[in-house]
């Protein structure tokens, strides 16, 4: 029998009820969605949505619990871009530091 993935919660008792109300998207969520749309656009073909899903499903239990919904997207995108050689870890870390410097400066 196949092992249940950390993301596969179907049929398990939940800790809390699912909030089915629409909510206003936060700017971070909109940016992540826009990033995914750019990366998956047919003209760019940098990644596919099924790769995003594979990346999310490959998170271990600790990572999956630690990240919010859109943070899981970001982590999956990060891993895929590194895997494909679009970015390397050093370049990514430099960019992260530049963004941090802008936001604190």
**Taking the model in full, what pTM does it have?**
0.78
What pLDDT is stored for residue 67 in this prediction?
94
Neighbours of 67 (CB within 10 A): 16
- Average pLDDT on 9-26 reads 74
Higher pLDDT, 7 or 72: 72
CA pair distance 12, 37, nearest whole angstrom: 32
Neighbours of 22 (CB within 10 A): 6
What pLDDT is stored for residue 12 in this prediction?
62
pLDDT in tens, 40-92: 999 988 999 999 999 999 999 899 999 999 999 999 999 999 999 999 999 99
The yes or no reply on domain 27-104 and CATH 1.10.510.10 is no
Q: Would you say residue 9 has pLDDT above 60? A: no
Please write down the HEC assignment for all residues of 18-64. CCCCCCCCCHHHHHHHHHHHHHHCCCCCCCCHHHHHHHHHCCCHHHH
What pLDDT is stored for residue 81 in this prediction?
95
What pLDDT is stored for residue 97 in this prediction?
93
Q: Would you say residue 8 has pLDDT above 60? A: no
CA pair distance 9, 16, nearest whole angstrom: 13
Q: Would you say residue 25 has pLDDT above 80? A: yes
């Amino acid at each position: 029998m196949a092992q249940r993935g950390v993301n596969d919660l179907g049929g398990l008792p939940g800790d809390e009820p699912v909030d089915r109300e629409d909510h206003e998207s936060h700017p971070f969520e909109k940016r992540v969605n826009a990033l995914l749309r750019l990366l998956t656009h047919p003209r760019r073909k940098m990644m596919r949505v099924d790769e995003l899903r594979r990346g999310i499903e490959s998170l271990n239990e600790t990572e999956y619990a630690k990240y919010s919904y859109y943070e899981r997207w970001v982590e999956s995108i990060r891993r895929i871009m590194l895997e494909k050689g679009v970015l390397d870890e050093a370049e990514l870390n430099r960019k992260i530091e530049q963004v941090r410097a802008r936001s604190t400066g």
